[in-house]
Structures are given as structure tokens and as C-alpha cells.
Amino acid sequence: MSATWSKAAFPALGSTAVVVVEEPAVAEAVALLRAELDAIDRACSRFRADSELSWANASAGRVLRVSRLFATAVGVALRAAERTGGAVDPTVESALVALGYDRDFASVRAEAAGAVRGRPAAGWRTVTLDARHRLLRLDPGTRLDLGATAKALAADRAAAAIAAATGSPTLVSLGGDVATAGPVPAGGWTVHVTDDHRAGPDAPGQRIALRGGALATSSTSVRRWRRGGRTVHHIVDPSTGEPASRAWRTVSVTAASCVDANTASTAAIVRGADAPAWLESFGLPARLVDPAGAVVRVGAWPRDAA
């Protein structure tokens, strides 16, 4: 039996959502994906005044009983912080705002005259979560941004839900954070790894076959803006509040889940020069591109086709 594939794409979460399934499943897949994205946005958006995240940020110092989804999202972010030694930290909201990323990125001014200074993150240990009872408390002054992990979490959840409901091999991509679930197609899932997920198929990069699991790419070449005569970007070093150093322009990582892949790719950008050894320590296949375009492969990442 040979499958006919269907691919649907639409704007979501300030990026692009893509789902690939066998053709009969596409309508149900799109509905499930939209439902998941809507739920994640209502829970985790820092640009919606009615989101749980905005409510939590405005309620620092109090104990809040939150939804199961938001508790899961915060728990995922805290585990990412723990597993990266704080390189990926959910308390960078104030740092991003200080750098000028204080609204939906489409509305951020590309250039402004005022100088900006980094503001170190409060630190993930200022967040207390009782996951079992869904109780959350932020220390006074702590504000959350779940941008580093919530999109990947949504990709994992949506892919799992779609595959469970339809039985189809499933790929979900949210702004280039790719999660797969269900049977693996013969030959795997073909993914074009590049600097910008919006780039066309001829953009510099590499094609690989993903055989289950997930893939995420983080890059300092997107979501950039200028303040006070300098270029800043959205991947912040929590320890300084400044944009992460430019040791790597783009890092792609495969992992068991999209959350783990995205956590690792973001942490690699923040960690800089020691990122290859750090990724190797987890056995994560990865591709790192330096600012000049030189590629470093880690672990079982495949070589470029000749």
C-alpha cells in the first residue's frame, strides 16, 4: 500500500505551523493542531493580556492554582533550565523587554535610537511549582517567558494527539521546531535544515532524513533588531541578560522530543564554544554553523550529501 501525503500550513504563534499526514487524516490533523495551538497561546503567550502567563507575571509573590496545561508548560521550562544548568531559563522576560522585545515580534520596531542594556534573569530557582497540585508561585520581581520551550511542547503534544487520533504517520512543525509521532515513513521524514525556517528549498543548509523523534533549530540570524546602534537578537544569555554570544549562528539538534531538541539547540547557542562537547555528552546528534558558515557535526549527525 502506498500512501498519499498531505501537507497543510498556516500562520500561528507568530510563525508558521505545518502538519504532514496521510491524506485522509489531514482535516482532523489540522483541527487538532489548531486546538492545541489555541490552548498553548491562551496559556503561555506573553503578548496576550488574558493569558495565564500574563496573569502569573502580574501576580508574583502569590500562590496561584493554574491549569494543567500551564503547569505542564512551566514544569517543562523548569526542567529545561535544570538540564542546561540555567542556560535556558524561563525568567528572561525582563531581559527581553529591556532589550526592546516588549511586544509581538511583528510589532517590534526594527531600529530605535535608545541604547539598551542587558538585565540578568531572576533565575529559574525563583519559580516554585507544585506540579501535582498545579500551584505556582513566582518570587516578587520574577517574570516568565516560555518562548524557549512552549512552542516545542505544543509540537510534541500536537503530533502525539494527531497520531493517536488518526493512526497516521505525523509530522508537526512550528516555526521549524519539528516533532514526529506514529509510524515512521519508509525513508524517514525529509527535513531541510537551514538558518531560517521560512527560507526556500534552495537556501543554504542540509537535507536529512529524520527517523522518528524530533528536530529543532535555533538561530541568531532571525528575530533581530537594532537598538542604540547595535544589533540584538532573541536568544538571551540568562546570566547577563544580553543576547547570547555569536559563537554559533545556527544550531540544529535531534532528540527524543521536540522539547529536548529545542532545549539543547537553544542552550548550545548560549553556551557558545563548548556546545559541541556538551551536546556530545548527551549523545545528541547536532549540526552547528558558525558565523562564517563553517559546519561542525556532533555525534551521529549525517554528512552532507556529496
Partner 1 sequence: MTGPVQRMTRRAPHDAAVVRRDHGLRRLRRATAIAAVTAAVSVGGVTGLTAATKPGHASSAGTSPPAGTDDSPGGILQAPAAAPTAPQHSPSGDDDGQAPQPAHSASAPHPQPAPSPPPVSSGGS
Kindly identify the residues of this chain, within the stretch 37-76, that bind partner 1 according to CB under 8 A: 39, 42-43, 50, 52, 55, 59, 62-70, 72, 75-76
Residue among 1 and 113 whose Cβ is closer to partner 1: 1
199 touches 176 (CB < 8 A): no
Minimum distance of partner 1 from residue 113's CB (angstroms): 26
For partner 1, the closer of residues 247 and 258 by Cβ is 258
Cβ nearer to partner 1, comparing 116 with 214: 214
Q: Which is nearer to partner 1, 64 or 296 (CB)?
A: 64
**Rg for the chain, CA atoms, rounded:** 19
CA-wise closest residue to 154 among 181, 124, 177: 177
- Judged by CB under 8 A, the residue of 99, 247, 264, 288 near partner 1 is 264
Q: Considering only residues 223, 246, 295, 296, which one is a binding residue for partner 1 as defined by CB under 8 A? A: 223
Task: Yes or no: say if 144 and 93 are a contact pair by the CB < 8 Å rule.
Answer: yes
CA separation for the pair 163, 158 (Å, rounded): 8
Shortest reach from residue 23's CB to partner 1, in Å: 8
Distance between start and end Cα atoms, the chain: 32
Stretch that binds partner 1, among 3-11, 95-103, 115-123, 236-244 (CB under 8 A): 3-11
Residue 273 one-letter amino acid? A
* Residues in Cβ contact with 259 at an 8 Å cutoff, skipping those fewer than 6 apart: 76, 80, 149, 152, 153, 156, 214
Q: Are 152 and 146 in contact (CB under 8 A)?
A: no
Each residue 268-297 as x (binds partner 1 by CB under 8 A) or -, in order, gives: --------------xxxx------------
CB-nearer residue toward partner 1: 119 or 258: 258
Residue 40: φ, ψ to 5°: -65, -40
DSSP 3-state of 188: coil
Please, what is the minimum distance in Å from the beta carbon of residue 195 to partner 1? 5
CA distance 84 to 137: 22
Q: What is the DSSP letter of 243?
A: B
- The contact mask relative to partner 1 for 91-110 (x = CB under 8 A, - = no) is --------------------
> Which span sits near partner 1 by CB under 8 A: 93-101, 110-118, 201-209, 236-244?
201-209
Site string for partner 1, 235-254 (x = CB under 8 A): ---------------x-x-x
Nearest to 178 by CA among 199, 167, 192, 164: 192
Residue closer to partner 1 by CB (options 204, 228) is 204
Residue 217 binds partner 1 (CB under 8 A): yes
Residues 177-196 that bind partner 1 (CB under 8 A): 177-179, 184-196
Return the residues of window 152-181 that contact partner 1 according to CB under 8 A: 153, 156-157, 159-161, 169, 171, 173-179
Region of 293 (left: φ > 0; alpha: ψ -120 to 50; beta: rest) is left
Q: Which of 30, 60, 146, 208 binds partner 1 (CB under 8 A)?
A: 208
CA 215 to chain centre: 10
Nearer to partner 1, 33 or 259 (CB): 259
Contacts of 272 (CB under 8 A, 6+ apart): 244, 245, 247, 248
Residues 112-151 interacting with partner 1 (rule: CB under 8 A) = 128-131, 133-135, 137, 151
